[in-house]
Amino acid sequence: MTANTAAVEATGVWKVFNPDQANQVIALQDVTLRVEQGEFVSLIGPSGCGKSTLLRVIADLTEPTQGSVQVAGLGAHEARQQQRYGIAFQQSALFDWRTVRRNVELPLELAGWSKAQRMKRALELLDLVQLSDFADHRPWELSGGMQQRVAIARALAADPPLLLMDEPFGALDEMTRERMQNELLRIRMETGKSIIFVTHSIPEAVYLSDRVVVMSPRPGRITDIVPVSLGTRNEDTREDAAFFAGVTAVREALRGHEAATAGRARTGEV
Amino acid sequence: MAGRLRFLWPPILVAVIFLGAWELLVRAKDIKPFLLPAPSLIASNFTKDVSLMFGAGVYTATTALLGLALGTLVGLMLALAAQRLHVVNSLITPLAAGLAAVPIIALTPILNNMFDITTRTPRVLISAIIVFFPIFVNVTRGLIQVRPVQVELMRSMNARPRTVLRLLRVPNALPFFYTALKIAAPLSVIAALVSEYFGGPQEGLGSRIASSAANSNYGRAWAYVLSAIIVGLVYYLVVLAIERWTTPWTGHAQRA
């Protein structure tokens, strides 16, 4: 992987469910997106805009109908086989029958690491997400925010260059959510991972990202890409004029498109 | 320890009140033993012939255990096949449901003819068939009903179906398995006991209950019934202990 290899390169990606049938849905229409190494990109848009589908295509959890996806210079399928990305979902998806530490070890177990190495690495990661004291606890003994931190540690375990996150903080309360956002930025600083982050929340997208990719439904496509430059984030950033400007820009990008769609609908265009 | 055993007090209290009322009723109304023997009569019969009780109990318990083992083994193997091959699932599940509707105990005379009536084989088979159903249905469900997000997670890490089975489906099915086993274990004892009513070796609890009742020895018949309850209860408690030991993560409020 050379310096100018993209973390993710999606080119002309289409995803059509039930093609050529009455209930055909174009989930992704000709999506092209390049994410640079170390970049933080959020995908935002209303339900049904295809942001989760795009993430799943990148993760090779579903195949594109057309187009190609490269992850760190590999085809999406090879990238998945070689665990070149880690993934975190809205549900932590932790295994109740494993301790916190052994949940973090799961990707390493699948990659064939020895027991001693696994344990050492898992403890390092629990240290990174500040849950060292909970290594031997069971997942259900942890709060929702802590469970998500374990899920992030698990996603980072095999040290993949890319982190895919599908609304990971969607089920958390506002206070926990903001704390988790700071945690994620700190982890990103310490690890230098590239991150693609799906969210519903405009402030969350702006606070976290280098670029916010705005998507729109029916058919799902990218309508705008809003660059954000807030420098190093801290709690004051949330009250910063530049932050509000970013939020406004993303909101207008989302709205502007809605207005355009409504206009077209009124004039009978498709 | 006192705190941990506190849960035992309510059922014990209920049992004492129930037995006391029973004893009083029998004495006050002078109910004859062939209608309803007093608990004290059952207890004295039990302690008087405790070695007979034990011998008959071991015989029936052994039949039940063999049936339980066989039925569980077949149930587990078919559940594994069913989760892997949809065809097997759609073929066996209706068959298993049909099997559950068969009055299986009523098959004993037939199995007695098909297999050697002088052995316990037909009884073991009856017990196994009865055990098979709850094990198969519950374990299949446990293997199939995993959370989709966990399957996605395993796929994202390039796990093969066999690995998904070992690391996700089997642990997920364990609580289902124990629920089934807690139903199946006492059922296996009932099946082993009742199948003794249809001829064959006379050493078991079922045979002894029948012969004691036929000889108008009602206190002893009830003492054998008491032995059967003890065997069923022991099996249930053993399953419960194994469950607590091997699946410490269940019994908690989990699942966000």
Interchain contact, B256 vs A144, CB within 8 Å: yes
* Structure confidence by residue, pLDDT tens digits, B136-155: 989 999 999 999 999 999 99
Is there a contact between B111 and B125 (Cβ–Cβ < 8 Å)?
yes
For residue A246, the distance in angstroms to the closest alpha carbon of chain B comes to 33
pLDDT bucket at B246, cuts 50 / 70 / 90: confident
Q: Which residues of A touch B156 (CB under 8 A)?
A: 59, 61, 80, 85-87
Mean pLDDT, residues A205-210: 94
pLDDT bucket at A264, cuts 50 / 70 / 90: low
8-state DSSP, A40: E
* Structure confidence by residue, pLDDT tens digits, B154-191: 999 999 999 999 999 999 999 999 999 999 999 999 99
Which residues between 63 and 92 in chain A have a beta carbon less than 8 angstroms from any beta carbon of chain B? Answer: 80-83, 85-87, 89, 91-92
Residue B186's pLDDT is what? 92
Which residue of A56, A89, A96 to mutate against B (max B Cβ within 10 Å)? Answer: A96
Residue B251's pLDDT is what? 60
Residue A268's pLDDT is what? 44
The answer to whether residue A269 scores a pLDDT higher than 50 is no
The token pair at A76 is 């999406």
Interchain contact, B158 vs A83, CB within 8 Å: yes
Q: Which residues of A touch B152 (CB under 8 A)?
A: 61, 87, 89, 93
Does the CB of B145 have a partner CB in chain A at under 8 Å? no
Q: Between these two residues, A262 and A168, which has the higher pLDDT value?
A: A168
Question: Please, is A21 exposed, middle or buried when counting C-beta atoms within 10 Å of its C-beta (0-12, 13-18, 19+)?
Answer: exposed
Mean pLDDT, residues A74-82: 94
pTM given for the model: 0.84
Q: Within 10 A of A236 (CB to CB), how many other CB atoms are there?
A: 8
Which secondary structure element, helix H or strand E, spans residue B83, and what is its range?
helix B50-84
List the single residue in A80, A111, A147 with the smallest CB-CB distance to B156.
Answer: A80
Mean pLDDT, residues A242-249: 92
Which residues between 47 and 66 in chain A have a beta carbon less than 8 angstroms from any beta carbon of chain B? Answer: 59, 61
Interchain contact, B253 vs A107, CB within 8 Å: no
What percent of chain A has pLDDT above 70? 94
Q: Which residues of B touch A96 (CB under 8 A)?
A: 249-250, 254-255
The answer to whether residue A265 scores a pLDDT higher than 60 is no
Does the CB of A138 have a partner CB in chain B at under 8 Å? yes
**Torsion over CA: B176, B179, B181, B184 (sign):** negative
| Spatial separation of the C-alpha atoms in residues A125 and B165, rounded to whole Å | 27
Residue B102's pLDDT is what? 77
- Across the strands, what pairs with A14? A66
Cα A157–A163–A166 angle (5° rounding)?
115
Interchain contact, B158 vs A92, CB within 8 Å: no
> How many residues are given for chain B?
256
* Structure confidence by residue, pLDDT tens digits, A125-178: 999 999 999 999 999 999 999 999 999 999 999 999 999 999 999 888 888 899
| CATH annotation of B39-246 | 1.10.3720.10
Q: Phi/psi at B170 (nearest 5 deg)?
A: -65, -50
The answer to whether residue A234 scores a pLDDT higher than 60 is yes
Does the CB of A170 have a partner CB in chain B at under 8 Å? no
Q: Between these two residues, B22 and B88, which has the higher pLDDT value?
A: B22
For residue B248, the distance in angstroms to the closest alpha carbon of chain A comes to 8
Residue A104's pLDDT is what? 97
Chain-centroid distance, C-alpha B189: 6
Interchain contact, A95 vs B255, CB within 8 Å: no
Secondary structure (3-state) at A104: helix
From A90, which residue of chain B is nearest by alpha-carbon distance? B149
Q: Which residues of A touch B157 (CB under 8 A)?
A: 83, 106-107, 110-111, 158
Interface confidence (ipTM) of the complex: 0.88
Q: Interhelix angle for A144-156 vs A174-191, to 10°?
A: 20
Mean pLDDT, residues A231-241: 84
Strands, E assignment, chain B: none
Does the CB of A46 have a partner CB in chain B at under 8 Å? no
The answer to whether residue A263 scores a pLDDT higher than 60 is no
Mean pLDDT, residues A246-256: 91
pLDDT bucket at B249, cuts 50 / 70 / 90: confident
For residue A219, whether the previous peptide bond is cis, meaning omega lies within 30 degrees of 0, is yes
| Spatial separation of the C-alpha atoms in residues B94 and A119, rounded to whole Å | 46
Q: Which residues of B touch A97 (CB under 8 A)?
A: 171, 174, 247, 249
What percent of chain B has pLDDT above 90? 55
What percent of chain A has pLDDT above 90? 76
Does the CB of B162 have a partner CB in chain A at under 8 Å? no
Q: Provide the residue ranges of all domains of chain B, joining segments of one domain with +.
A: 39-246
Q: Which residues of B touch A171 (CB under 8 A)?
A: 256
* Structure confidence by residue, pLDDT tens digits, A5-24: 899 999 999 999 998 888 89
Interchain contact, B156 vs A59, CB within 8 Å: yes
* Chains A & B: contacts with CB separation below 8 Å: 62
Mean pLDDT, residues A92-121: 95
Write out B176-231 in H/E/C secondary structure. HHHHHHHHHHHHHHHHHHHHHHHCCCCCCHHHHHHHHHHCCCHHHHHHHHHHHHHH
Interchain contact, B254 vs A171, CB within 8 Å: no
From A99, which residue of chain B is nearest by alpha-carbon distance? B249
Q: Which residues of B touch A87 (CB under 8 A)?
A: 152-153, 156
Interchain contact, B255 vs A140, CB within 8 Å: yes
List the single residue in B149, B168, B171 with the smallest CB-CB distance to A91.
Answer: B149
